[in-house]
Structure 1
Amino acid sequence: MIGRRLKSARTAAGLSLRALADAMDRKVSAQAIGKYERDEDMPRSSVLSALAQALDVEIDYLLGDGDLQLEGVEFRKAASTSRKEVAAIEARTLAFIERYLLVEEMLRLPTLHWAPPSSPAFKIVSVEQADDAADALRHEWDLGGDPVPKLAELLEEHGIKIVSVDSPRVDGLAARVERDGHPPVPIIMIAKGAWSERKRFSLAHELAHLVLDVADGIDAEKVANRFAGAFLVPGEVLRQEIGQRRKEISLGELRVLKRRYGVSLQALTYRCKDLEIINRSLYRDLFDLYDRYGWRSEPYEEPEAFEPEREEPMRFRRLCFRALSEGLIGEPRAAELLGMTVRGLEEELDAVA
């Protein structure tokens, strides 16, 4: 039956039952589509084709027997984000992960094993302990104190699937994908169009939700923010760079650190405050300055912002091109998996060649 997949695809497309019926030129009514979604009826082949076309999915997707579910979902989003927007993001994320796992299966690649850290450092009973957890994970992953040049790629190397979705009001999502007979797959969703400093912070923030065990009564979002800053800019390294205590600090100095660590001026300022390198008075002065320059308003973009492509996940794309090269899929299927037209795919292949 197609109920769960049909509803997921409709939600991802942001369509109501009535809007989907309209998009199909009223081949069937909204009530009929509702019955399909509740598995009370099955569409005939011509209606199934019209549904797939209106939802921009393959018929095989609607007929597939996979049963993926998101569990333990944590969002980094605007407070005003609607339930409909949240549901659409979840549906798009699930649809992407299904394609991802399908391509891995085609290539006979085992899904990279996710081994969540188990050190006592990851059991958090205060916000400040997030620094120790970030240092412990850096040690476990053998990162030292160096900047992480491509955080999305690093996380995928450790078995976390990264999903990039057009999402102006949701910065990030962390969850596990549950599927019958397999271990859960950890995923992080990031907003595709965001500047890369913001993506990097979102990736590190959502990583915190995957690795930390935060005690009841502790603000998990504050912990995740603290962890993100510490993972991207280790405290010991930052103190070596700018000193233990500072009465003044210039934007020029912060901009050099921004280029080195790939984090925003605002995140660096928070980090300096958390580590008590600067006092609250200087912290407020700096944020007043950021307000005057407009950096704290949408699109939140500071000077020397890194292009969005810097932190775009590339593993799924590479796997699709590999499957195409090995003759496991044709160009139409590769284009559908990558969410592009066949012409666009051909142009990219010609450019690469």
Structure 2
Amino acid sequence: MIGVRLKLARTATGFSLRGLAAAISHCVSAQSIGKYERNEAMPSSSTLIALANALHTTVEYLLGDPDLVLDDLEFRKNGFISKREEAQVEATVLVYLERYLAVEDILQLQSIRWDVPRDVPYPVFHSSIEADRAADALRYYWGLGHEPIPNLVELLEERGIKIFAFPLGGLGGLAARARRPRLPPVPIVVVNAEDWGERQRFTLAHELGHIVLDISPDLDAERVAHRFAGAMLMPAKSLWLEVGKHRSSIPLGELLALKHVFGVSIQALTYRCRELDIINQTTYRALFNEFERLGWRTHPFKEYGAMDGERPNRFNRLCLRALAEGAISEAKAAEILDVGMTEVSNYMRGTLSSSLEVE
């Protein structure tokens, strides 16, 4: 039944029952839509398509599992984004998450359990500096030491976090927990597929912070998550080893080289150096004035040496594994992966396409 999701979509887009009826050219009445929302009736296929179009969502979303919901949504915004756009992103995440979980069920994997680190959620009650200790504790639990993380997407997927990359417009990313009856919650992070690699990595670490931290309402949650991301990607001991504990200046060439060591932006590196008092406020301001002159402080914020993104591959791998083992047909694989039959057939013959390529 579609009642729960239909009402959520209508509420998110701001339609009244009468307004939605008008938006679909009164092919059904407001009273009929009310019955759909109360699960007292089901719309015809043509009405369902009209409702999905008017609500800027998909039929697949409306027909999806009403018991699968996203909680604790945290959006990282690059600019203004409307409630309607947020609702569209939420619907897209739910659609792809349902496909992901369906493939795991087909393979009887029962989903990789979220490897909940000891002492999570880590408390950050007094100062954002506590986020550094949280990042150190998480790295210790996951056995990462103090070295840079070569592939953050792969690490998080191995730990049971579902990673998706979609074009998000004014959103940098989001974190959420998917909840299902009688099953443990599934943590999710979504990055903007249009961002370059170092920005995506920072978003992943930032959203991970929202998942594992318990932040006091008296603190700026975004600033704390930023501090956690910096500590996760650039541990103090590792950064001190590379640049020293105190510097009077750091040239752009050195920052560019370090960017590729840690997989972060030059600006994130500079900010982290200031957090750790490696550079003073005067040097920090001088560097950011230079970044402003170079155009890095305005949209699209792209710097020298932009890196390719780390692609989430586990969902594709599992789907193609199910196909290879005969658990699903090529037609079903194409439907789940949202690609054409030709692409799936080419993959099975050994001719990879860019959308199905896995690493």
Q: Provide the TM-score with structure 1 as the length reference.
A: 0.88
Structure 1 residue matching 2:176: 3-state secondary structure: strand
Aligned to 1:190: 191
Contact residue 8 and residue 91 of structure 1 kept, 8 A: no
**Post-superposition offset of 1:122:** 2.1
- Specify the alignment match of 1:305 in structure 2: 306
CA 1:299 to 1:160, structure 2 compared with 1: closer, same or farther past 3 Å? same
Using the TM superposition, give the Cα deviation of residue 80 of structure 1 relative to its aligned residue in structure 2, in angstroms.
2.1
CA separation of 1:346 and 1:51: change in aligned 2, threshold 3 A: farther
What does residue range 159-198 of structure 1 map to in structure 2 within 5 Å? 159-198=160-199
- Corresponding residue of 1:279: 280
1:9-158 to 2 correspondences below 5 Å:
17=20, 21=24, 28-29=27-28, 31=30, 32-33=32-33, 35-44=35-44, 47-48=47-48, 57-58=59-60, 62-78=62-78, 80-119=80-119, 122-125=122-125, 126-158=127-159
Please report how far the alpha carbon of residue 238 of structure 1 lies from its aligned counterpart in structure 2 after TM superposition.
Answer: 0.5
Deviates more, 1:28-37 or 1:210-219: 28-37
Residues 339 and 30 of structure 1: CA distance in aligned 2, closer, same or farther (over 3 Å): farther
TM superposition shift of 1:9 = 7.4
Task: Note the C-alpha offset of 1:332.
Answer: 2.3
Give 1:108 shift: 0.3
Structure 2 segments unaligned to the other structure (5+ residues)? 354-359
Q: Distance in 1 between matches of 2:22 and 2:233?
A: 44
2:85 alignment partner AA: E
Go from structure 1 to structure 2 and tell me whether the alpha carbon gap of 1:80 and 1:322 turns closer, same or farther (over 3 Å shift): same
Instruction: Say which is worse superposed, 140-149 or 49-58, in terms of deviation.
Output: 49-58
For residues 169-209 of structure 1, give each alpha carbon's deviation from its aligned partner in whole angstroms, at most 9, with x where no partner exists: 11111111111111111111111111010110000001011
Corresponding position: 1:345 with 2:354: no
Give the deviation of 1:13 after TM superposition.
11
Cα 1:135–1:50, aligned 2, differ >3 Å: closer, same or farther?
Answer: same
Q: After TM superposition, give the deviation of residue 94 of structure 1 in Å.
A: 1.5
Partner Cα distance (1:30, 1:86) in 2: 27
Q: How far does the alpha carbon of each residue in 1:71-92 deviate from its partner, in whole angstroms, 9 at most, with x for none?
A: 1111111352211111111111
Q: Distance in 1 between matches of 2:120 and 2:188?
A: 23
- Normalising by structure 2, what TM-score? 0.86
Shift of 1:288: 1.1
> For the structure 1 residues 11 and 20, does the alpha-carbon distance in structure 2 shift closer, same or farther, using more than 3 Å as the test?
farther
| Separation in 2, partners of 1:295, 1:167 | 20
> Deviation at 1:289?
0.9
Quote how far apart the aligned CAs of 1:348 are: 4.2
Name the structure 1 match of 2:203.
202
Q: What residue number does 1:328 align with?
A: 327
* % identity of equivalent residues: 50
Provide the residue aligned with 1:220 in structure 2.
221
Secondary structure at the aligned position of 1:184 is classed as: strand
- Deviating beyond 6 angstroms after TM superposition, the runs of 4 or more aligned structure 1 residues are 8-16, 49-54
Per-residue deviation at 1:331? 2.0
1:333 Cα shift?
A: 1.9
1:14 touches 1:88 (CA, 8 Å); kept in 2? no
Conserved 8 A contact 2:153-2:311 = yes
Cα separation, partners in 2 of 1:139 and 1:53, compared to 1, 3 Å: same
**In the alignment, does 2:249 pair up with 1:256?**
no
Give the 3-state SS of the residue equivalent to 1:239 in structure 2: helix
Cα distance, 1:66 vs structure 2: 4.8
- The letter for the 1-side match of 2:328 is I
Deviation string for 1:92-150 (max 9, x for gaps)? 11111111111100110021122433438921121111111111111111111221111
CA distance in 2, matches of 1:345, 1:30: 42
Instruction: Note if 1:233 corresponds to 2:241.
Output: no
Deviation of 1:249 (Å): 0.7
3-state DSSP of counterpart to 1:258 = helix
Aligned length: 345
CA displacement at 1:293 relative to structure 2: 1.1
**Partner Cα distance (2:250, 2:212) in 1:** 33
Shift of 1:343: 2.9
Higher helix share: 1
Over 3 Å counting, the alpha-carbon distance change for 1:254 and 1:63 in structure 2 is: closer
Q: Which residue does the alignment assign to 2:270?
A: 269
- State whether residues 196 and 305 of structure 1, in contact with CA within 8 Å, keep that contact through their aligned partners in structure 2: yes
With 293-302 and 338-347 compared, the bigger mean Cα shift is at 338-347
- The question of whether the paired residues in 2 share the 8 Å contact of 1:148 and 1:232 is answered with yes
- SS of the counterpart of 1:226? helix
For residues 14 and 262 of structure 1, the distance between their equivalents in structure 2, rounded to whole angstroms, comes to 41
Map of 2:2 onto structure 1:
2
Structure 1, unmatched stretches of 5+, are none
**Amino acid of the structure 2 residue aligned with 1:109:** L
Q: Distance between the aligned counterparts of 1:249 and 1:207, measured in 2? A: 29
Distance in 1 (alpha carbons) for counterparts of 2:281 and 2:33: 57
SS at match of 2:184: coil
Find the aligned partners of 2:29 and 2:191 in 1 and give their Cα distance: 33
CA RMSD of aligned residues (A): 2.9
